[in-house]
Amino acid sequence: MSRRFLFILGSHRSNGNTELLAREAARQLPADVEQQWISLAEHPLPDFDDLRHGAGDPSRPEEGNHALLLDATLAATDIVIVSPVYWYSLSSHTKRYLDGWTSWMYIPGLGFRAAMAGRTLWGVTTSAGDLPWIAEPLVSAVNNWAAFMKMNFGGVLRGIGTAPGDVLKDTEALARAKPFFAQDARHPPASQAAAHGPGPTRNLPHDRLAAPSRPHPHVRRHVLLKEAVMTRPHADSCT
């Protein structure tokens, strides 16, 4: 299967920082790698309707944005979650897409979870605040998402910016974007995830967030937790 990247744009505005950073990284993909870009703002999903456990009809969607996104997801070898940090985590468009995966797992005969196993999940994010822990819940969500689905976790590329275009001034992020997709995807602790479902995952890829000169990820994590305790999020560093 040749590589096919699906970029899921989760920002609630067009041409935002996160998309700009993702496009910078995607520019480095070889010409024979197919790319599909879908904006969730242009193709919004409704709030998740929990039809599991006999509560409704979980049949495969044949039209509309659910069908578009399901088909595109199944056709991709690599799925890139391009979500800004909203309140330390995923944007609500992105969260609805993620909840959609739960719906798709319950479609009889589709085998969605088995089909996604072995593919690669990546993340690209931007935030206004520049403290690395600000994106930790988002990174954990993408990491655990991959582990639960037995997918490879490619890592999360992170940039800093508030107004559209700001991220183009983040020269460290632009430098990290160039080799980002060339790095080998990591294998998640799939057996652990399969046994327990999504949950706290050790060995978070903090080195994917940090500049190369920063300390070892475990050391950095300790420092970050200390910063999180000592420093209350400032209003300016939120939006």
Give the interface with ligand FMN as residue ranges (CB under 6 A): 11, 13, 16-19, 84-88, 126-129, 134, 161-162, 164, 237-239
Is the Cβ of residue 9 or residue 193 nearer to ligand FMN in the bound state?
9
Q: One-letter amino acid identity for 134?
A: I
Smallest distance from ligand FMN to CB 211, Å: 18
User: Residue 9 pairs with which residues in a beta bridge?
Assistant: 39, 82
Is the Cβ of residue 90 or residue 147 nearer to ligand FMN in the bound state?
90
DSSP string, 112-164: HHHHHTT-EEEEEEEES---GGGGHHHHHHHHHHHHHTT-EEEEEEEEE-SST
Which distant-in-sequence residues (6+ apart) come within 8 Å of 116 by Cβ? 73, 149, 150, 151
Smallest distance from ligand FMN to CB 218, Å: 24
Is the Cβ of residue 13 or residue 226 nearer to ligand FMN in the bound state?
13
- 180 touches 208 (CB < 8 A): no
Written as six digits, the tokens of 233 are: 């999020």
CA distance 121 to 148: 11
Q: One-letter amino acid identity for 129?
A: G
Closest residue to ligand FMN, judged by C-beta, is 16
Smallest distance from ligand FMN to CB 78, Å: 20
Smallest distance from ligand FMN to CB 89, Å: 8
Is the Cβ of residue 58 or residue 164 nearer to ligand FMN in the bound state?
164
Smallest distance from ligand FMN to CB 170, Å: 10
When computed from its CA atoms, the radius of gyration of the chain, rounded to whole angstroms, is 18
Is the Cβ of residue 19 or residue 78 nearer to ligand FMN in the bound state?
19
Smallest distance from ligand FMN to CB 130, Å: 8
Is the Cβ of residue 11 or residue 201 nearer to ligand FMN in the bound state?
11
Sign of CA dihedral 56, 57, 61, 64: negative
